[in-house]
Structure formats: C-alpha cells, structure tokens
C-alpha cells in the first residue's frame, strides 16, 4: 500500500471521529486534483471550487460510509465528485462557453508569443474534443489527467472493471488524437 493511501485511511478514521484537522489534511491531499477534475468535467468550469467544497462537505457528513474494501480514499472522493458533476451538468446549469477565440490576442511581440498562443489554441481544441467524448470516456480521461488516478482507481471510481476502465482510456485517447490531428491539419 502506498504511504499516501495509508495516511488517507488514517484521516478517514479520524474524520469518522469528527476531527476537523483530518478534513483539512484531506483537502490538502486531494483538493487540487478534485478541483482540476471538476473544472474539466463541468459544463461551467468556474463551479469547480463549489464542487470541490461539496465533495469535502459530503465526505465530512458521510465519512462513516467509506469502506476501504471497496477502494481507496481517492477513488471514494472522486466517485463523489463524478456524481456531483453529472448532477450539475444535468440540471442545465450551463452558461455560454467563452472559448479561446473570444479572448483578445496578446499584444506581446516578444519571441515565443506566437508559440504560446498556438499552444493555448491547441489546448482549447483538446478541451473541446474532451467535451465531445462520450460521458464515460470523458470521465475516465479526466480522472486520469486531472485527478492523476491510476486505472484501478478509475475503475473503482466509475464502478467498472479495470479492463473496462483501460478500454475507456484507450478509446478516449484515440478519439482525442483523431479529433485534434484533424483540427491541426485544417
């Protein structure tokens, strides 16, 4: 077992006892990854902070429901995040997406500015391509990229087998590669 998981397990036990310091440490350990995941999974990325807070609020209230036999603390927290993001997206809380094209180009004439703009535009295309993936593929790729979860943790988070999680990742990567390559050659 990895040391981070050992610490997370101990923190969950402390959380069950109502120790607020344990919650603060869980936020430190998992908050940044959860925030990154939510920012990409939500139709309105600016709600990522709200989702992250909601994940930890639910973890605080439901700490006794965590079962280490069903997966890691990370998988449990990300499972909560996946569900909250799905609910928020379903409720239709989306506003018009302002893409990279709506932002004025920088006035910076320094060497490398064009490369920076090109990289940002490519990133915008990748983000758009991610939003175009089927829901399960999008969840899997975001859990890997934004959450840093391994295949086994992704499988537990999504409630599927490790093989199915790997297939989702393979399909998502292939679809992203094809979409971005097609856009790059236009």
Q: Cβ distance 179 to 129 under 8 Å?
A: yes
User: Does the reported pTM lie above 0.95?
Assistant: no
Structure confidence by residue, pLDDT tens digits, 113-148:
777 787 788 888 888 889 999 999 999 999 998 888
What separation in angstroms does the CA of 66 have from each of 32, 37, 58, 61? Answer: 21, 21, 11, 11
Sign of CA dihedral 178, 145, 142, 165: positive
Domains of the chain: 1-95 (1.10.1740.10), 112-186 (1.10.10.10)
Structure confidence by residue, pLDDT tens digits, 164-184:
999 999 999 999 999 888 877
Residue 57 pLDDT > 90? yes
Sign of CA dihedral 103, 32, 158, 19: negative
Return the pLDDT at 171.
Answer: 95
Return the pLDDT at 184.
Answer: 72
Q: How far apart are CA 84 and CA 107, in angstroms?
A: 39
Choose among 18, 48, 44: nearest CA to 34. Answer: 48
């Amino acid at each position: 077992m990895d040391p981070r998981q050992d610490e997370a397990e101990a923190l969950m036990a402390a959380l069950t006892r109502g120790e607020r310091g344990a919650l603060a440490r869980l936020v430190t350990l998992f908050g940044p990854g959860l925030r990154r995941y939510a920012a990409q999974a939500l139709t309105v990325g600016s709600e990522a902070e709200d989702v992250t807070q909601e994940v930890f609020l639910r973890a605080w209230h439901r700490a006794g429901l965590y079962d280490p036999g069903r997966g890691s603390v990370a998988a449990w927290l990300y499972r909560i995040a996946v569900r909250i993001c799905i609910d928020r997206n379903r409720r239709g809380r989306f506003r018009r997406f302002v893409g990279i094209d709506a932002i004025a180009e920088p006035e910076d004439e320094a060497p490398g500015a064009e490369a920076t703009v090109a990289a940002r535009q490519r990133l915008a295309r990748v983000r758009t391509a991610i939003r175009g993936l089927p829901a399960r593929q999008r969840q899997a790729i975001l859990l890997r990229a934004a959450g840093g979860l391994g295949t086994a943790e992704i499988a537990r988070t999504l409630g599927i087998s490790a093989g199915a999680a790997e297939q989702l990742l393979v399909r998502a990567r292939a679809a992203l590669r094809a979409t971005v390559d097609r856009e790059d050659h236009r």
